[in-house]
Amino acid sequence: MSAPNSSYDPVEVTPLHPDEVARMRDEALSAIEAAGDLDELKEVRLAHASDRSPLALANREIGALPPAAKADAGKRVGGARRDVGQALKARQAVLENERDERVLVEERVDVTLPWDRTPRGARHPLTTVAERMTDVFVGMGFEVAEGPEVEAEWFNFDALNFEPDHPARTMQDTFFVENDEGGDSGMVMRTHTSPVQVRALLERELPVYVVAPGKTFRTDELDATHTPVFHQLEGLVVDRGITLAHLRGAIDAFVGAVFGEGLRTRFRASYFPFTEPSAEVDMECFVCRGSSVGNPEAPCRTCASEGWIEIGGCGVVNPRVLRAAGVDPEEYSGWAFGLGIERTLMFAHGVRDMRDMVEGDIRFSSAFGSEI
Ligand code: DAH
């Protein structure tokens, strides 16, 4: 009589014993429950749900079972693994939620808070351009001279050989400063930097080689091409044996340094009371270099197709000015120039509207960088 086949009892295979499977499952479930964050849960997943976890190893044992026992063991182990998988998924969702909430709190940005970063300022481009212009002459050995912005009429006009009825003295051009009674104080807001010429000659030993950058004032309305407060760079050389050739050389060096090497300059005869002869200084247009002249196909915005750009006035110092400053014109001679700083900035940097220079909008200055 044949006995039932009991030579292989699955109950005897320890990892597949129902109690053991339940124990492995419970151990996994409590480890999952205990995982406090996503990193810990990752460890738990490795320990209890990877290919090398006890349940996975138990699963491998099933293949060795006789067919009758396979289904039962498979159901138990499969059920346990499913439970572990679901618990992992659920815990993962809970922990991700917790993490997201924590991140939202910890990394919260209050967009309504006031901005607490002080933006870096920028020096006004007129200041930096004036310094660059001045440096060109300092590099040639000139010193920097100064004078007051509220100036005696004598320095601003008389010493510079302006006749008492010269049109520049009239109310149209000059800001006159009243005295306490509202009358004539003899003072004006200087209309140019040329009075510094006389001050420099009175204050310094000869020979004099100076430049004087500074503010000047005229009763102009503010518009795209005029401003009542503007800036000039005055230059003065008084020495023995000084000629116009030295002036030409100094102007050429300035144009080369600020606008580019090799640009031609020209002097056009003009009139200023304090120089004789006098000239307007033009430089070749650094954009078209004259190619736009008479060429409507290729107009130049920079020089308005003139080919030349006016940058200032100059001349040989009038002997009357030297005499007014106590210098003997028989022994000494000299020349002077006055360059527009606004004009230099406008041409060198393509600034089209003077109002941009005076409105004080930091965005205008910042565009020139934070040069120190
Ligand atoms: N002071 C003149 C002006 O404001 C400019 C000028 C012309 C200055 C000739 C000079 C010079 O020193 O020699 O229009």
The answer to whether the CB of 267 is under 6 A from ligand 1 is: no
Which numbered atom of ligand 1 lies nearest the CA of 275? 13
pLDDT for the residue numbered 259: 92
Residue 10: the pLDDT is 45
Q: Looking at residue 3, what is its pLDDT?
A: 53
Taking alpha carbons only, the member of 160, 132, 125 closest to residue 274 is 160
| pLDDT, position 179 | 92
Q: What is the pTM of this model?
A: 0.69
* φ/ψ of residue 177, rounded to 5: -100, 125
Say how many Å lie between the CA of residue 196 and the centre of ligand 1: 11
How far apart, in Å, are the Cα atoms of 241 and each of 11, 140, 341? 124, 18, 29
With a 6 Å cutoff on the Cβ, whether 337 touches ligand 1 is: yes
Cβ(213) to ligand 1 under 6 A? no
Q: Is 10 in the pocket of ligand 1 (CB under 6 A)?
A: no
Two structure tokens written together for 340: 């527009």
The pLDDT value given to residue 372 = 58
Q: Per this entry, what is the length of the chain?
A: 372
Q: Give yes or no for a contact between 58 and 21, defined as CB atoms under 8 angstroms apart.
A: yes
Ligand 1 atom 7: residue of nearest CA? 313
For residues 360 and 353, what is the distance between their CA atoms, to the nearest angstrom?
Answer: 13
What is residue 11's predicted lDDT score, i.e. its pLDDT?
47
Q: What is the mean pLDDT of each run of 10 residues along the chain (372 residues)?
A: 50 75 93 94 93 90 84 90 95 95 91 79 90 96 98 97 86 88 93 98 98 96 92 98 93 94 95 96 93 92 92 97 97 97 91 90 83 60
